[in-house]
Amino acid sequence: MSQAEQSRIVTGTTRLLGIFGAGGFGREVLPLVRGVPGREVVFVDDAPQASLINGARAISWDEFCEANNAPKQVALAVGNSAARQAIADRCATAGIGFAHVQATNAIILDEAQIGEGAIISPFAIISSNVLIGRHFHANVHCYIAHDCIIGDFVTLAPHVCCNGNVHIADHAYIGAGVVLKQGTANKPLVIGRGAVVGMGAVVTKDVAPGEIVVGNPARPLTATR
């Protein structure tokens, strides 16, 4: 099975695909999108540290914009959500569209809606009737159960278990191995805008906007000192 068959990317007739961000996550995205005949995949970085990274050219933003291999798209593999939004705004202003990246062994069930620019890593599962916003990152082995609502620029680190009826607001970060307790239709578990849930936490109560919680059960970081 070829690399193109092992992974899927929804890009239409794109001939140049830029992975914005050449860090660790960007290098993990590369194998999911390369190998399609007639399309070159490059890394795009404001200050590339090398001209070739894992076999792909690394070029500046200006070089990417000036390339004549139209049409082109980008996948935003930048971990910081504020930076990801700033880059998304820059791309939109330049008229550059966004790729949907999804490993073929990821599972997406009925009536799941995913906004533009998502990156769905291998072995992720998105269950039925889930609503996800723009530029979402689901790292390897994430699970999102039924009736969850996830905002824009949200990141789930590896092995997050997000049970049903959980609402995660924009720019929240959910750390590796976190378990989010199931809510109900009348009272969903809510993770506020910009909140950070530390790795391994077990969240049983709502998390306020901007709050950092850790532990089992999860508590505000200041309360643990």
| Residues annotated catalytic, as ranges | 146
Dist. CA 58–CA 221, nearest whole Å = 39
Q: Rg for the chain (alpha carbons), in Å? A: 18
| Contact in structure between 104 and 122 (CB atoms under 8 Å) | no
DSSP 8-state secondary structure symbol assigned to residue 221? G
Degrees to nearest 5, angle at CA 83 with 44 and 156: 100
Please, which residues have CB within 8 angstroms of residue 178's CB and are 6 or more apart in sequence? 157, 160, 161, 197, 198, 199, 200, 201, 202, 203
Looking at this protein, which amino acid is placed at residue 76? L
DSSP 8-state secondary structure symbol assigned to residue 86? H
| Strand ranges of the sheet holding 202-203, from the earlier edge strand across to the other edge | 107-108, 125-126, 143-144, 161-162, 179-180, 202-203
